[in-house]
Amino acid sequence: RDHVFAPRLSGWTPYGTLEMAGPMLFQLAQRQCESACDIGAGNGRLAAWLSRAWGMQVEAYDIFLPAHPEFDNIQLFDGRQLPQPDKSTDCAIFSFVLHHCRHFEAQRALLREAARISRKFIFIA
């Protein structure tokens, strides 16, 4: 657990979505990804944690900008097409996102975008 939830972040106790995404984070830790795209980042908690705990280069996107962001650079996107080049990140991450899509076509569009931008893996929690 200390390998995934790095103790070097003094005073930071993972909670909420980080705890629920634990199995995904264990897999991510084993894959040695250096960059990630957090799709549907919400307030940016996961993006902030990956950046601070593991030093990953993280891009975070959502269809709304949060009122109280936990990550400094959450970018807006239209919910279908990510403004990133092909194969530009090691992994794409959906952390409790796809169930918010009202239609299967929106889920399919997001999954295709994740496959387009990801060099290695797509993680879904």
- For range 18-28, the mean pLDDT: 66
Provide the whole-model pTM. Answer: 0.81
| CB neighbour list of residue 49: distance below 8 Å, 6 or more residues apart | 12, 14, 18
Q: Write out pLDDT tens, residues 46-72.
A: 899 889 888 899 999 999 999 989 999
Q: Is the pLDDT of residue 33 over 90?
A: no
| Distance (Å, whole) CA 90 – CA 39 | 13
pLDDT band at 32 (very low <50, low <70, confident <90, very high): confident
Tokens of 124: 């879904």
Tell me, letter by letter, the H, E, C secondary structure of the chain: CCCCCCCCCCCCCCCCHHHHCHHHHHHHHHHCCCEEEEECCCCCHHHHHHHHHHCCEEEEEECCCCCCCCCCCEEECCCCCCCCCCCCEEEEEECCCHHHCCCHHHHHHHHHHHHHHEEEEEEEC
Spatial contact of 93 and 99, defined as CB atoms under 8 Å apart: no
pLDDT for position 16: 55
Contact status, residue 90 vs residue 120, Cβ threshold 8 Å: yes
pLDDT over threshold 70, residue 4: no
